[in-house]
Amino acid sequence: MTWELILVSKPNFAETRSLVELYQNRLRHTLKFEEKFFKDEARLRAHLEKKPGVTILLDERGKSIDSKGLAQKIQRWREGGHETVRFCVGNAYGFSEDSRKSADWLWKLSDLTLPGDFAWLLLWEQVFRAFSILNKTGYHHD
């Protein structure tokens, strides 16, 4: 199973890149992941249509969930026999209605409006946290 973490654009700040790499290094022992960047939503959609998988869009219209709830969802996706699970962060304008309708789940990270770099970093941290919960590493405290 491959986990894709996708950003429509690229991180704007070198500091974001180094912090994301911290979580990537921690995750390398836990799961097979791919980081992908797309110039625009059309290119992202073309990628999503190439092979089946679960698509999660981070979107302000989505459902809020706590870290344990995310871990439970991840566990269900792992057990579901999916080839690929994709988490997608949009550009400054979010996703189109067509993309939202075709997604398997819309996830709202926060009630706050977040810059793309923050959402990108928060996504990596929460994926790491969810796998830490599932693997009982002690990173997440109840």
Torsion angle, CA of 42/48/49/55, rounded to 10 degrees?
-120
If you ran DSSP here, which 8-state letter would residue 7 be given?
Answer: E
Cα distance between residue 120 and residue 141, in whole Å: 23
DSSP, collapsed to helix, strand or coil, labels residue 36 as strand
Question: CA-CA distances (angstroms) from residue 50 to 42, 68, 69?
Answer: 13, 31, 29
Q: What pLDDT, on the 0 to 100 scale, is given for residue 56?
A: 98
Cα distance between residue 84 and residue 16, in whole Å: 25
Tokens representing residue 116 in the block = 């793309």
2-135 CATH choice from 3.40.50.720, 3.40.1280.10, 1.10.10.10, 3.40.430.10: 3.40.1280.10
Residue 121 identity: L
| Domain segments of the chain as ranges | 2-135
Question: 84 - beta bridge partners?
Answer: 2
Give, for all 142 residues of the chain, the pLDDT tens digit: 999 999 999 889 999 999 999 999 999 998 999 999 999 999 999 999 998 899 999 999 999 999 999 999 999 999 999 999 999 999 989 999 999 999 999 999 999 989 999 999 999 999 999 999 999 988 887 7
